[in-house]
Amino acid sequence: MAADEETLLALLNSAGRPTDELADPESARRWLREHKIPARVEDAATLREGRDLLRAVVRGERPPRALAPLLAGVVSRPSIGADGLTWTVDLHGARAVLVDAVIAWDELNRTRPGRLRPCANDECARFLIDRSKSNSARWCSMATCGNKLKARRHYRRARGGEDTAE
């Protein structure tokens, strides 16, 4: 997985565990370190705002245009080297993280539409990037959501109940 995709997914999922990882300085510090996010704890509020916009757009609750504030005033600077052009965004900290996340989101939309989606467990607020050939992944994690729902269905079948979606 590309580093930016990993960051995008980590950012989206920082709100769904079920607590908000960025809500208090201590967990924000831990989260930033754990995911190697180049931002300061003081930037957590900015990250949280941007993350909530991204979450709403990925869920289809807001149009992509809602991300415009994250890109306001962003300038990309080209430089040339042995391998050709490199584009650098002159930003640091939370704003750079959010711009990279928007770029990763856009790239996913273009190259693998629909692959970034909410977990199929209604009680889960996390997202997944489906990399399977069949595009059939449904859970953010088989170990948590996948097995939990399977167990519930099994229980219901054993009782003779309906095997319907939650």
Q: Shortest approach of Zn ion to residue 127 CB, angstroms?
A: 8
Closest of 110, 150, 158, 26 to residue 166, by C-alpha: 150
How far is residue 17's CA from residue 125's CA, in Å, rounded to a whole number?
A: 7
Q: Shortest approach of Zn ion to residue 117 CB, angstroms?
A: 11
How far is residue 146's CA from residue 137's CA, in Å, rounded to a whole number?
A: 10
Q: Shortest approach of Zn ion to residue 126 CB, angstroms?
A: 5
Instruction: With beta carbons less than 8 A apart as the criterion, state whether 58 and 101 touch.
Output: no
Sequence-distant (6+) residues with CB within 8 A of 51 are 11, 12, 14, 15, 22, 98, 101
Q: Which is nearer to Zn ion, 15 or 145 (CB)?
A: 145
- Which ranges in the chain belong to alpha helices (H)? 3-12, 25-34, 44-58, 68-71, 93-111, 147-159
In the block, which residue shows the tokens 């059939």? 136
Q: Which is nearer to Zn ion, 76 or 135 (CB)?
A: 135
Q: Which is nearer to Zn ion, 76 or 147 (CB)?
A: 147
Instruction: With beta carbons less than 8 A apart as the criterion, state whether 10 and 100 touch.
Output: no
Binding residues vs Zn ion (CB under 5 A): 119, 121, 124, 126, 140, 145
Q: Which is nearer to Zn ion, 95 or 126 (CB)?
A: 126
Q: Shortest approach of Zn ion to residue 147 CB, angstroms?
A: 11
Q: Shortest approach of Zn ion to residue 165 CB, angstroms?
A: 14
Q: Which is nearer to Zn ion, 70 or 120 (CB)?
A: 120
